[in-house]
Structure 1
Amino acid sequence: MYVYTMESVNLVCGDNDAGQNQPGTATFLTLRQLKLPNLEENYVEHVAGGAIAAIEVFTHINRLEATFTLAGWQPRVMGLLARGNASRQAQRYTAHGVIREQRTGKPMKATGILWGGSAP
């Protein structure tokens, strides 16, 4: 059995064109918490008329939601999340981190690319 833990992470906010013209804002000094989405399945129990047993039927996967917490105030990041943002285009958030396998101590690279913005 392997146990993996994420040791450190840097979240780059708003790097929509892979860092060529809009490099984004790195948050490695102010990032306090990053929660990546979980895949959670939902099921409904179904009992057919006259049946003696029920079955579970898969219905959907819950909404994927990632959240992060920053220390202090970063106007560039807040501008990406502002509800009054005229462009209303989805922003790209790239998380670069280090995952370590606990038994062997081997470090591995982790990268997560998320697209989104503020809720309407």
Structure 2
Amino acid sequence: MSNLYVMEAANLYCGDDDPTKSKHLTISNLRLPSLEELFQDHHPGGSRVAIEVEVGIKKLEPTFKLVGFDPDLLAQFGLGSRARRVFTAYRVIRDKLSGLAIEHKAIMEGRLGKITEDEFKRGDLAGADYAINEVYHYEIWFDRKEVLYWDFKTQTHRVNGEEPYRTENAILRIPGTV
């Protein structure tokens, strides 16, 4: 049966070490990273037609926008800290057919790598755009079930609980995956 899921609300925690880091009152935009494969063109000498060959996945770069000024996040920027932090996004997804609210959660470990403040204009609500860079860990959960899990350090990658690269990791003797 077909579903109709609609995103209704979002919140972001910028540092899971402190429950006061909720941005529910200031978040206006949240974009989880694009999931995009990398391809290289290959045109063999013996073929009239070129093809694309998948060679990996592009880096992950989540972004968000907050209204107002946020000195806590300014202190997390690269000049104030070289450490990666855990950012957790929560979204309310509404099943429009049943009316049920479903939790969608994204866990990201990265560095706050970009802050672009809006131009100040009297009468307008200014804020800033933020980017999370150097993402080393990414998880997606839907309705309390893990959908996607990736960790750079261990090279663990799961989709719906399955590890599609388990064999490759075992062949390469990657610690923690053998």
TM over 0.5: yes
Residue 60 in structure 1 maps to residue 56 in structure 2: yes
Q: CA deviation at 1:12?
A: 1.0
Taking the aligned partners of 2:67 and 2:98, their CA distance within structure 1 comes to 33
Equivalent pair of 1:25/1:77 in contact (CA under 8 Å): no
Distance in 2 separating the partners of 1:45 and 1:117: 32
Runs of 4 or more above 4 Å deviation: none
Normalised by the length of structure 2, the TM-score is 0.57
Q: How many residues align?
A: 113
CA contact (8 A) 1:98 1:109 kept: yes
Matched residue, 1:46: 42
CA contact (8 A) 1:34 1:69 kept: yes
User: In the TM superposition, what is the alpha-carbon distance from 1:71 to its structure 2 partner?
Assistant: 0.6
Q: State the Cα distance separating 1:107 from its structure 2 match.
A: 1.6
Gap runs ≥5 in structure 2: 115-178
Which residue in 1 is equivalent to 2:92?
98
Pairwise CA RMSD of aligned residues? Answer: 1.9
Aligned to 1:19: none
Find 2:103's aligned residue among 93, 104, 109.
109
Residues 49-103 of structure 1, C-alpha deviations (whole Å, 9 max, x = no match) = 122332221122111100111110121122112x322x41101111122111233
Sequence identity (%): 37
More displaced stretch, 101-110 vs 60-69: 101-110
> How high is the TM-score relative to the length of structure 1?
0.81
Q: Taking structure 1 as reference, are residues 109 and 118 closer, same or farther at Cα in structure 2, changes over 3 Å only?
A: closer
Q: Of the two structures, which has the highest relative contact order with CA contacts closer than 8 Å and spacing of 6 or more? A: 1
